[in-house]
Structure 1
Amino acid sequence: MQVKDMVSPVPFHLRPSDTIATAVRYMLETKFTVLPVQDSELVGVFTNSILYRLILAGVSLDEPLEPYLKQDLITIPSDTPYEEIEELVRNSDVGTGIVVDPDKRVVGLLTKTDIVMFLLRSSTLLREQLETLLQSITAGTLMLDQERRILYANSAFARITGTDAGILASKSLNEMLPELDAEIPSPHDGDPFVSKRVLLNGTPLLAQICAFSMLGGETGIIVVFQELTELEAIAEELESVKKWRNRLHTVLEHAYDGVVLVDEQGMIQFVSQGLSEFFRIDQQQLIHQPISRVLPQLDVSGTLESGLSDMSPPMEMNGIPYILKRIPIRAGDQVIGAVGQVMFRQLKELAEMAKRIHLLESQVAYYREELKKQIPVKYGLGSITTNDPAMLRLKRTASQAAKGRSTILIRGESGTGKELFAHAIHAESGRRNGPFISVNCAAIPEHLLESEFFGYAPGAFTGAERSGKPGKFDLANGGTLFLDEIGDMSPGLQAKLLRVLEEREFYRVGGTERIQVDVRILAATHQSLEDLVARGVFREDLFYRLNVISLDIPPLRERGGDILLLARQFVQELQLEHGTAVRELDPQVEQALLTYHWPGNVRELRNCIERALTFAEDGWIRLSDLPSSLRSGSHARIEHKRAGNDSGATWKHKREQEEREMIIRILETCADNKSHAAKQLGMSRSTLYEKLKKYNLS
């Protein structure tokens, strides 16, 4: 506190040439009894006593001030501390002081009234701050005067005693709480601080009693009450912390060859005995010293700045090789220190073990490559059977697209073979020797999608595996990740997928380490992503990121020339699996297959042939072996041709009615299990839900 905090500022500048009348006018306006007069610096003061003498002498008020100024002045520098001001006021008869800055310019006037008002404001502020502090602490606080009247009691004391703090003020302690009055002794001059255990309302308390001086020389008493149960709990916690500290030190002493622990400033907080002996420096000389100065070989400043772990190359100390591993210590996202682990024992054995591990890894890599050469790719573009010109063009486009790294979006109705194309593109690409991981976005529950894609760190959530779990991106690293039914992906996961596509990195659920990944994305959908974008359920930026190359697979009904070709291929493949001997398709079967509209596409055709093989006899698939939907469809088409009229609307209604009845029957067979029903119907679960909504079966 300095004098400049107490002065009254001077709102004018009187000069020696100004008249006495001007000074009188300023005195009336400001109520000052002393007016400073300055030119380039202070030259004197004009006081009310000088004015009175001039009036009695009959001096004209138009006279200049300069001849009448008092020039033997005592000024006060503006940076004078309060203690010197207090001494000056106590020993001086002058009621007003002139406060000047280092250049002798007037800063203001200091009066005894200014000092008193400043002290009043300061004492009021201190009282308010003290009351706020006493009200905020959990300990009960009581202030008594010499007669043991209550001067102050905070809310914690009122809570402990079960009384109202407002009622207690100015009352005698003996009157309000006689049992407490009897328990509290008065501190003596020889022992001004007393601690005593007291019992109040059945609660054990520790009362800390001390005396304080009041105005007038009286002695008051301050009592602070602390609940013993709270103190005992704190003591137990401190004892527990002390035990764990000793355990941690014991572990660090024996877990590694040497350990050093530094804070965020690089100051050493702990050094193991083994490390100090290795570097031949006393432990006590290292504690609280900068590691960069006392152990520059173990400097961890890079780890503190980057927040990343690293390991040094082999180093040497006194002819003994050692390795240093630096590990950051984090509190949330902030690095608060680092650990240096020094390994110097059994390094030769570790080197030999590393050589053996490297040899084994080389052998495993060799045999893995040899194994890949022996095992052919499961699916290729040659596995896609077609004579349709549009499909042949699509295969050529897929072959060219497979050679690049761009994301490919495969579109088509359910059952058209989108996953087969994805396998074929992977097999044709430079990643054919890498993994191919397929994920059905519609089949995984939404709350598990993120952990399935990105994996999770150890202990990320309740029920998680202790060691954590890799995600699909981890498994597909170096290969291809196929995202089927991507239109069903949640908006939150869409944003994270976009980040992976753009940055090629991700974080595991509950993890803080950034994972770099090299994955090519193939996506497939039977929905119109443009419509989903327009409805706001699919991110537009993700759509454009996925739709770099688009392959649109036509439905089977638009590839009439492929129906019988595929049917005969399925007969050859499936009869080996089922152990049947079917030679050919009945002409009526061929007609039924060609006239059916195939809502389930190639998948429905395969399921139809598989069913027919089960019931076929004498080496032929007859019309009676086909599902009822195909038989009725064939009959209706034949009748339609005979009638020779346009009954398209009737035919569509009949087909929808048959499809509705079939869905109801399959759902009953599957006990209303939508996933199983969709599999038997040869459609995706999302398509089944659309059918249920269409036929009002929800």
Structure 2
Amino acid sequence: MSQAFNKVPLSWHEQMINLLSERVVIVDDTGTILYINEGYCQFIGTTMEEAIGRPVQDVIENTRMHIVTKTGQEERASVQKINGSEMIANRFPIFQDGKIVGAVGNVMFRNPEEWLMYKTKIQNLVDELNYYQAKVHKDLRSKYSFEDLIGSSSKFLTAKTWAKRVSGSNSTVLLMGESGTGKELFAHAIHHESTRSATPFVAINCSSIPEHLFESELFGYEDGAFTGAKKGGKKGQIELASGGTLFLDEIGDMPLSMQSKLLRVLQEKEIVRVGGHKSIPINVRIITATHRDLEKMVEKGGFRQDLFYRLNVIKIDIPSLRERKEDIPSIAKQLLKKLEARFYRNGIELSAEVIERLLQHSWPGNIRELENILERSINMLDGKTIKLLHLPLYLRDCETEEIDGGNPIDSPVFQSVSKPIPVQPLKETLAQIEKQAIQQALARTNGNKLEAAKLLEIGKTSFYDKCKLFEIN
């Protein structure tokens, strides 16, 4: 190390000292000043010419530099009175061949005000860091408990009881149910009730991640793994969830190429970041959810059989809203409270006619559809009671719909977008029916294309392509 330092030109030494510290003094083993820089001289009101060669105690008030050369003990952040104030200084002995040959000292803060200024800056940074850490911690916590799962129907209570019972386990859970039935709420509640409740809960919607980004999103990446990669790399969602719960929503939409990699995570309990070589051990509980029939997907080759068996350890079927219509009034009441806070309203109620109409509807969009309807109604509301006239047109006319969940093609919404189809080539006929089905799905979801794609059970990309083809905005 010393040989390497000898290669540094002597003319650089003083400049380096001044750059690294504003106020520096160096003494020999007798306490005589060998060097003092300009910054220190200005601080104590002297010059380098006057100070160098004199005993340090004659130049610097209340100094202990000459004492450090005798004791050989360093003194860090020592308070020293000087110029009528108190400064904070460091003092270090210098050794050569095991003997003390001198000492070096520097002033960290010239007065309490300077220290306070630095302390304030540091404290602000610490406070900001704590704020963002708390925010991240909050974002990675479960937001719902079993108390938030409202309903008293037998099918719903069975699902809720079963979910509560398995919360304490570390086994994987597969939540089955139509889109909008509350599968994510169940996942939050299971984590909240588990022994991992104080650890991260990370939720990923597999249908919303482009296939080419899936691996880096799930496993993270190392610095320079690909063009545009964040400097220093990035942790993946699985790594962020380590110690807690990873919720993979719409697992049926996970690309086949990623299914094999997820299977390896479940088997080996470790991941490798994109562009990396080091295995990172992880401890995570997996909860998955889907509205698809995974067993049929396995038969058709759309889902790995070995992964299906790994995920299907504990299967919980969540009933659709049309299977638990007796729960609609209590669910609507809870949703209204949630919406009241968002719209700064209170005391909103449903009229008896509205409740009756809600009970007649077949609810293809389930609880999500119910929430959309209530939100729309509040936007149309002048008073505090939601009446039939505040409901969407397709609900106001739903008396022609079969009460027990008739064919969607017979619904008023479909009739409103359908036209008589003339005899024409089969290809054109099918295209027209396909277009009408998309229009009906969009009407059901109030224009939400992602939800409409889920209702039709087609991929998001395919849905957008068909909308473009049929010129549906």
Q: Normalising by the residue count of structure 1, what TM-score does the alignment of the two structures yield? A: 0.42
* Aligned mate of 1:481, from 246, 255, 266: 246
CA apart distance, 1:524: 0.6
Aligned equivalents of 2:141, 2:148: Cα separation in 1: 13
Alignment of 1:678 with 2:453, yes or no, is no
Shift of 1:690: 8.5
- Aligned residue in 2 for 1:576: 341
Query: Quick one: which of 410, 415, 418 aligns to 1:652?
Result: 410
Residues 1:461 and 1:250: Cα distance change in structure 2 (over 3 Å): farther
Code of the residue aligned with 1:610 in structure 2: it is E
Measure, in 2, the Cα distance between the counterparts of 1:548 and 1:681: 29
Q: Sort the Cα spacing of 1:632 and 1:457 in 2 relative to 1 into closer, same or farther, 3 A.
A: same
C-alpha change, 1:450 and 1:529, in structure 2 (3 Å) is same
> What is the distance in 1 between the residues matched to 2:176 and 2:225?
36
**Take 2:227 and 2:409, find their aligned partners in 1: how far apart are those partners?**
55
Post-superposition Cα deviations, 1:674-693, rounded to whole Å, max 9, x if no partner, equal 9x533589969847778899
Distance 1:653 1:683, change over 3 A: closer
Instruction: Answer whether contact 1:435 1:480 (CA < 8 A) is retained.
Output: yes
Letter in 1 for 2:379: T
Which one of the candidate residues 535, 539, 543 is aligned to 2:308? 543
1:77-104, CA deviations, whole angstroms, 9 ceiling, x for partnerless residues?
Answer: xxxxxxxxxxxxxxxxxxxxxxxxxxxx
Question: What is the one-letter code of the residue matched to 1:504?
Answer: K
SS of aligned partner of 2:336? helix
Correspondence for 2:211:
446
Distance 1:580 1:687, change over 3 A: farther
Contact kept in structure 2, 1:415 and 1:683, CA below 8 Å = no
Deviations 1:90-139 (A, max 9, x none): xxxxxxxxxxxxxxxxxxxxxxxxxxxxxxxxxxxxxxxxxxxxxxxxxx
Q: Deviations over 1:626-670 (max 9, x none)?
A: 111211213x25xx89xxxx99669735454458769539979x9
Letter in 2 for 1:466: K
- Is the CA contact (8 Å cut-off) linking 1:372 and 1:433 kept in structure 2? no
After superposition, give the CA deviation of every residue in 1:579-624 in whole Å (9 maximum; x if it has no partner). 2344421222112101111111001101111110111122110111
1:546-601 Cα deviation digits (max 9, x unpaired)? 00000110100000111111112212221222023444212221121011111110
* Ranges of 4+ aligned residues in structure 1 off by more than 4 Å: 646-651, 658-663, 665-668, 679-698
Contact 1:416 1:554 in 2 (8 A): yes
Task: Evaluate the alpha carbon distance shift between residue 426 and residue 558 of structure 1 in structure 2; reply closer, same or farther with a 3 A threshold.
Answer: same
Distance in 2 (alpha carbons) for counterparts of 1:538 and 1:421? 23
Aligned length: 325
- 8 Å Cα contact 2:201-2:244 kept in structure 1: yes
- In the alignment, the residues of structure 2 paired with residue 677 and residue 384 of structure 1 have an alpha-carbon distance, to the nearest angstrom, of 27
The aligned amino acid for 1:534 is E
The answer to whether the 8 A contact 1:571-1:582 is kept is no
Aligned to 1:511: 276
Match of 1:397 in 2: 162
| Residue 472 (str. 1) matches residue 230 (str. 2) | no
* Residues 1:630 and 2:395 aligned together: yes
Deviation, structure 1 residue 465:
1.6
Contact 1:633–1:655 under 8 Å retained in 2: no
**Percent identity of the aligned residues?**
43
Deviation per CA, 1:334-378: give whole Å up to 9, x if none: xxxxxxxxxxxxxxxxxxxxxxxxxxx9xx99xx99x999x9952
Checking the alignment, whether the CA contact within 8 Å between 1:604 and 1:681 is kept in structure 2 is no
Task: For residues 301-351 of structure 1, give each alpha carbon's deviation from its aligned partner in whole angstroms, at most 9, with x where no partner exists.
Answer: xxxxxxxxxxxxxxxxxxxxxxxxxxxxxxxxxxxxxxxxxxxxxxxxxxx
Contact 1:409 1:546 in 2 (8 A): yes
Check conservation: 2:184, 2:249, Cα contact below 8 A: yes
Query: Please, what TM-score do these two structures have when normalized by structure 2?
Result: 0.61
Q: How does 1:579-658 map to 2 (within 5 A)?
A: 579-634=344-399, 636-637=400-401, 652=410, 654-658=412-416
State the AA in 1 paired with 2:303: F
C-alpha spacing 1:653/1:569, structure 2 compared with 1 (3 Å): closer
Q: Equivalent residue of 2:297, what SS?
A: helix
Cα pair 2:409 2:415 within 8 Å, conserved:
no
Q: Name the counterpart of 1:560.
A: 325
Q: Which residue of 1 aligns with 2:439?
A: 664
Which has more radius of gyration? 1
User: CA 1:666–1:528 in structure 2 vs 1: closer, same or farther (change >3 Å)?
Assistant: closer
| Superposition pairs of residues 162-201 of structure 1, within 5 angstroms | none
Structure 1: 5+ residue runs without aligned partners? 1-248, 255-360
Measured on the aligned residues, the alpha-carbon RMSD in Å equals 4.0
CA distance in 2 between partners of 1:662 and 1:601 (Å): 18
Matched residue SS, 1:618 = coil
Residues 271, 280 of structure 2: 8 Å contact kept: yes
1:384-435 deviation per Cα after TM superposition (whole angstroms, max 9, x unaligned): 0001111112111111111011000111100000110000000011110110
Distance 1:587 1:539 in 2: 49
Give CA deviations for 1:25-64 in whole Å, capped at 9, x if unaligned.
Answer: xxxxxxxxxxxxxxxxxxxxxxxxxxxxxxxxxxxxxxxx
Distance 2:301 2:212 in 1: 21
Question: In the alignment, residue 678 of structure 1 is paired with which amino acid?
Answer: L
